[in-house]
Amino acid sequence: MTDPANSTPSTAEPKKAGLPAWILPVAKVAFLGLAIWIVSQQVSWHDAVVLESGKKLRGSIHEAPGENPERLVLTDLEGTEHRLAPRSKTHPVVPEDHEGYQAGSRSFGIKTASRSLDPLYLLGGMLLIFGMYLMGISRWRYLLEAQGIECKWWRAFRLTFMGFFWNNFMPGMTGGDVAKAVLIAKDSPGRRSHAVSTVIVDRVIGLAVLALLSAVAILTNLETFKKQAVVVFAVLGACMIGGVCVLSRRIRRKLHISSVLKRMPASAVLLKLDESFRLYRSAPRALIAAVLLSVLAHACNIGSVWIYGRDLGIPASLTTYFATVPIILIAASVPLFPGGWGVREVGFITAFTAVGVPEAYKGKLVLLSVLLG
């Protein structure tokens, strides 16, 4: 038997009570399932027509061959053809009648919408997206040079696209930034915190410029975009406050930023990153170049979405795209699901129908989110 008097008291600290480790993964899977369910309830694979009697026909709507082009035919899932008379009380379907769309008489299925895509429009959109990538890579290289880190253009290209690959498996549309930060840190021994800081600053500038572009579009028609304005100006304000707190010596002294960082967990890492961020005070040209390249890159991205939307026949102006797409991209950046999946689809439906796009276009809006990549 052990003598209690000679036993050594346990020095192990009691475990802190907290949530089980499995809670967060399960919650993410549940939210992803909810997002998939919401999207599936909003859209249909097939076209649909709701008759005056309330009966819904599903299938593929097309023009009747050899007849008046306004005459439509719906071939249902069993292969039976139903003639749809324009401006008819029993079949209220008109190809260009937006009142009919808003009444819910017809909805566009994803299958029909994808078949109608024009290869030239797709090519134009892809060229704009590739241009966005090239400008994003150039932006990052400016930020790397400001930190004294040499990275050849081809190496930056490879690291960026490796980040895009990992983005498909990591939460949010910014998840690939983690992989990119790890890779560039390995390439920069002795300046790892500086290398990581470039990825963070690159992302913050990108989000700030997204919010800025949306804000400019919103101000052209504030009455239409009142709800969107709240989100956009909140993000823009947060980015501006963060930038001032990092770059302004006077504000830093008043807020005791360095002292606060010293008392935080992982203070050594945070202080090194803070030191790296402050180096951009002496690199205004790099910051200005990064902002200008961000404007061009995001304009290309939004332009590609607009081209795809035009091809799909979605009735929305270019201003609407500039006002709403940045909000969707910002929301998809939140690290919930891999690649922002689910958030983008719900975001496109919610954002565009909120500004007047008929609900009949939900299927096309989901396809538009897929084309965004």
For 66: left if phi > 0, alpha if psi spans -120 to 50, otherwise beta; the answer is: left
The residue type found at 272 is K
Output the pLDDT for position 248. Answer: 84
User: How far is the C-alpha of 182 from the C-alpha of 126, rounded, in Å?
Assistant: 28
pLDDT of residue 38: 57
Write the CB contacts of 329 (distance below 8 Å, at least 6 apart in sequence): 173, 210, 301
pTM of the prediction?
0.69
**Which is more confidently placed, 8 or 99?**
8
If one compares 39 and 31, the residue with the highest pLDDT of the two is 31
**Which domains does the chain possess?**
47-106 (2.30.30), 119-372 (no CATH)
| pLDDT tens-digit series, residues 257-295 | 888 888 888 777 778 787 788 888 888 899 999 999 999
| Amino acid present at 155 | R
Distances from the Cα of 330 to the Cα of 232, 236, 287, 342, angstroms: 9, 11, 21, 14
What residue type is assigned to position 46 of the chain? H
What percent of the chain is predicted at pLDDT more than 70? 64
- pLDDT for the residue numbered 87: 43
Other CB atoms within 10 Å distance of the CB of residue 328: 25
Residue 43, pLDDT above cutoff 70? no
Helix (H) / strand (E) containing 60: strand 56-63
Q: Phi and psi at residue 93, in whole multiples of 5°? A: -130, 125
Rounded distance between C-alpha atoms, residue 347 and residue 365, angstroms: 9
Structure tokens given for 254: 């008043």
Q: What pLDDT score does 184 carry?
A: 85
Q: How far apart are CA 271 and CA 112, in angstroms?
A: 55
Q: Which of 129, 85, 80 is nearest to 105 (CA)?
A: 85
- Which range has the worst mean pLDDT, 68-77, 152-161, 232-241? 68-77
Which of 324, 371, 357 lies closest to 108, judged by CA?
357
Give residue-wise pLDDT tens across range 136-163. 999 999 998 888 888 888 888 888 888 7
DSSP-assigned letters across all residues of 350-365: HHHHHTT--GGGHHHH
Q: Which residues lie closer than 8 Å to 348 by C-beta, 6 or more apart? A: 328, 365, 366, 368, 369
Q: Which two tokens stand for residue 56?
A: 């819904």
Q: Which comes out higher in pLDDT, residue 297 or 269? A: 297
> DSSP string covering 107-155, please?
E--HHHHHHT--HHHHHHHHHHHHHHHHHHHHHHHHHHHHTT----HHH
Q: pLDDT (tens digit, 9 = 90+) per residue, 158-187?
A: 888 887 777 665 554 555 677 788 888 888
Q: How many CB atoms lie within 10 A of CB 168?
A: 12
CB contact at 8 A, 44 and 359: no
Mean pLDDT of the chain: 75
Closest among 363, 362, 364, 369 to 341, alpha carbons compared? 369
Give me the sign of the Cα torsion angle 300, 161, 368, 119: positive
* 179 compared with 130, residue with greater pLDDT: 130
Beta bridge mates, 20: none
Tokens encoding 325: 């797409």
